[in-house]
Amino acid sequence: MVELKTSRLNAVFHALGDSTRREMLQDLSEGQKTVGQLAEPYAISLAAASKHIKVLEKAGLVSREVQGRTHFCRLEPGPLASAQQWLTHYEHFWTGRLDALERILRAEDDAARPKKDGEKK
């Protein structure tokens, strides 16, 4: 398992906490984009888009290459994989809790359902 320092993991989840940044990552999953291309769907300024990208860069989710005046951004999926590994640890907990809840709800439904003639109570 790839270890991810707590500060980097915090930066990843902070970056993912904003819907615009999540959508930018989705856009970058299709390939390299310029800052302008990333900003366009959101009707935000290049400066605002650049601020979002800087948060993604700090988390290690995006790399930026400057060619002249054009900034190209590329998805760096490694930190996402590490965050997924961290979440997987807790998936077992939640799966168990949801399974227990399902058993309780089914038992309540069964108890509330009227019994037909000949069925055990």
Q: What predicted TM-score, i.e. pTM, was given to this entire model?
A: 0.71
Nearest partner of 25 among 2, 1, 59, judged by Cα? 59
The percent of residues in the chain predicted with pLDDT above 70, rounded, is 92
pLDDT the model gives residue 118: 64
Dist CA 18 CA 51 (whole Å): 12
Torsional sign, CA 60, 62, 66, 70: negative
Dist CA 25 CA 61 (whole Å): 8
CATH of domain 1-112: 1.10.10.10
Delimit the domains of the chain by residue range.
Answer: 1-112
54 with 73: CB under 8 angstroms? no
